[in-house]
Amino acid sequence: MAYEPPKQSFAGQIFDVITLLVLTIGALYIPLYLGLAGAAKVPDPIPDPTWEALGQNATEQQQWVALGITDPAAANDIITARFDYSFSWTSLIVMAVLVIGYFVMVVRLSDREYREVIEERFGTKRR
């Protein structure tokens, strides 16, 4: 006996699409509004920059000039900027639990639904 789904009204279809859209846009913009997004490089400019002090050899100096940056002071920020890779183990563990937990949940619920599908398609289970 096959499962017969209810027919969805047009308003219901629109409502469902809007729900998904709100979720998507929320996920993208909420970190942005909370100001938590993105990893920034922090420049650490040195005083009195010269190409030599910035560690640029003769060829590299030529390359900077070809890119339109003739003054070492203008390249100071670009050259000295570095990422900060320090992190807390707690947040790493939270992250791991979140990712693994998500996959476990999805696979388990999927399996439950999948058994229904197979049963309806191929007749009763033999187990």
* Site for other proteins, residues 82 to 111, rule: CB under 8 A: 82-83, 85, 87, 91-92, 94-95, 98-99, 102-103, 105-107, 109-111
CA distance 48 to 89: 39
- The single residue listed with the structure tokens 């209810």 is 6
Question: What burial class does residue 64 get, using C-beta atoms within 10 Å of its C-beta: 0-12 exposed, 13-18 middle, 19+ buried?
Answer: buried
State which of residues 20, 47, 90, 124 lies at the interface with other proteins (CB under 8 A): 20
Q: Which of 21, 53, 73, 74 binds other proteins (CB under 8 A)?
A: 21
For the chain, helix, strand, coil in percent to 5 are: 60, 0, 40
- Smallest gap, in angstroms, from Cβ of residue 46 to other proteins? 13
Number of residues that bind other proteins (CB under 8 A): 75
**Per CB under 8 A, 16 contacts other proteins:** yes
